[in-house]
Structure 1
Amino acid sequence: MSEGNRPVKLDYDVIIVGGGMVGLTLSAALSQRDLRVGVIEPKPVELEWQRGTVDARVSAITRASQRLFEDVGAWSGIAAEEKSAYRRMCVWDGESTHGSIEFDASLIAEKNLGYIIENRVLRRALYQSIERARNVDWLCPEKCQEVTYHDDCAELTLVSGKRLKAALLVGADGAFSWLRKASDVGQVQKSYGHKAIVCTVKTDAPHQHTAWQRFDHHGPLAFLPLADNHLCSIVWSVDEAYAEELLALDSADFEKRLSHTFEATLGAVTLKSEPVAFPLFERTADTMVQHRLALIGDAAHTIHPLAGQGVNLGFADAQELAKTIEVSLNKSADIGLKHRLRPFERARKSETKAMQLAMQGFKRLFEQEIPVVQMARSYGLALTDKHPLIKQKLIRKAMGL
């Protein structure tokens, strides 16, 4: 695994720091290669839970991500009742002239646009796909303490005292990545000025296997359909002051405000989990690669959740990095050299930047309260809704096809 003979003895070819959904996706992809892989993670995977409970954190999985999970053997680990396919997406402007647009899978002859799946379900399925792999070690619970980079390897010291050497380290340890910071990789951070409120709700009317999203000047409100026809996961991204106002409401008043904002589209709503909020930031690492280091997922970038693309960007990072590593393996080249990792960064940086710019643009457009701007955006939605070819292109782009 080197361009010359490497004298150092490696414990692993690749060590992935972070065993969340993105880190596990990469480990599952690499388990199919002739590599020794270690995954360092402080939190065990939740393998079972009480029947009837719902994880408030869900992900909108694109068809491209679905295909990746199929390739790595994780999709079959998700039961039919654990994934909710959505066939339509309805988006509308809650102010001005109420312009709207509807996307339907039938427009491109597909059976659905994607799936809404609880994060705990995804993580369990991905973990089970590597549990069977002989070349992947799950080092959990473990935490990193120190990292040192050498010409011929990277060395990690764990809190437990273990010292591990690898040809390549991968930071998949989230937005507050320890490995990124410890490796002196800078980050540009911009606040969206929003907080995302998430919870699970029951609706009087069935969700119709539709993802609903309403915009107003406070921010977007999304109702994402779950497997139960009357359960939705909501993501309500609003300015910070309004978020605090909403969180201060008691359950009954919160439900009324939520139903009113959603224009009672699915009737009255009832909370099934406590609303929780987290601040939203756009983050971009100064680099995704350096000598013996690659960053993926939230460790490399974060975006506004209004389009539900954040975790799918991370899954695409994992897929592209696995391909880049395979190219080096096929050439018997050192997988940890920066120039060997650059194709991965080039491929992913442009797509991530484009998505970040798009999210900034949507946020700014819909938070405008100027009447002429509100009318223009509503007209734009309505006009786009009347052009099937444009809608087809938008649907395919969102699905990753």
Structure 2
Amino acid sequence: SGRRALARRCGVAVIVAMILAGTGLASAETAPPVTIYFNGSCHDCVPYLDHELVPLLKSLGAGEIVRRDYILERRYRKELVERSEALGIPPQLQGHMTIFIGDRIVLQGHVPAGIIRDLFAPENVGRFTRVAVLQDKMAGHGDLPTDYTVWAAGGTIQVYPLSTPVATYLAGLPAAGTPGSGVAGSPVAAARSGAAFALMVLGAGLLDGINPCAFAVLLLFVAFLFTLQRGRTDLLAFGFTYIGAIYLTYFGIGVGLLKVFQLGAPHLFAKLGAGLMIALGLVNLKDYFWFGAGPSLSIPKIGTAARDRWMRRATLPATAVVGFLVGICEFPCTGGIYVGILGLLSAQTTFWNGLAYLAIYNVMFVLPLVALLLLIGNRRVVGQFSRWMVTHKRQLRLGQGAVMIAIGAIILLWFV
């Protein structure tokens, strides 16, 4: 009987062990894998990962955890953007560090532990099909976090104080998102978001081109050609050569800056670029009320002598050099909008997608110059337009400054 009792105990122990092993195996099979995209040079990010996030995720039953430094490996940056787009994560919910927990939970930045625990809680897991939480501030930089932003498929983007549990948001979600309903994350919303992004870039390019700095030099150049008694055909040939050189120069500057921005911290550069756009917009507003007081956006005098010297040669190659010099020299006057958009492209697109947007942006940038060139077919029109620009110089700066501030604010609030 003693042997039978021992056998029964051993049998029970084996069965329990098998059950536990099976449970563990099932858990291992269903544990969501974690992929972390981060910047290894971020001083606050690595300690947050090592001492807070990774231990927490392991305690909550997460699966294999993989880290991918998108600064050291450029392909990871492309992978991050493509994965975010595939999951329908809104652009304004993308932070400086992204953690994918399976395909259902996306953490952006330094999300507090309490919010992460709530997302794993059994009573909350069934409330969402996909959720993204953003808290991008870093206390180590003196930027104390006060709130977080949350979005789930079938819901809208909401901002809550850190003291409010994420369950408050999840409780208000519909039972199931309706495909194509227009809520954030649906195909319709994704298309609208992409259209809004494209309109932002194209509109900014057009605004950048409607610039007194660029117009003034073109008018000066055309007036000079009139003094040489050139016909309309020559006028157009020289004008389009000049505009083409400006396009290539400006595009080249943009490509270089885009590569630099994407090598560093793209979201930081996006915020800095938007901030610069707002600051330069304020300078334009200042010029409407107090023109001449303090700094103003204008083409620097450096390079003016070389520009005029090449202009007097009045040949097509010399005209291309003039366009190159103008493109370089007018950048301090027109570059505020450009830098802001380049920062946005670095944060929201891959390099090649950003390059395509950049090419179209610069088409919009030179479009006003093309229109102006086609309109100014005689000396009288040139004189009238020049006088109009002088008369309305302050109003032009007011309008441009106001729109620059608006675009910068939209980038900060909605896209980074």
The bucket for the TM-score relative to the shorter chain is: under 0.3
Comparing both structures, which one devotes a greater share of its residues to helix?
A: 2
Q: Which has the larger radius of gyration?
A: 2
Comparing both structures, which one devotes a greater share of its residues to strand?
A: 1
TM-score with structure 1 setting the length: 0.24
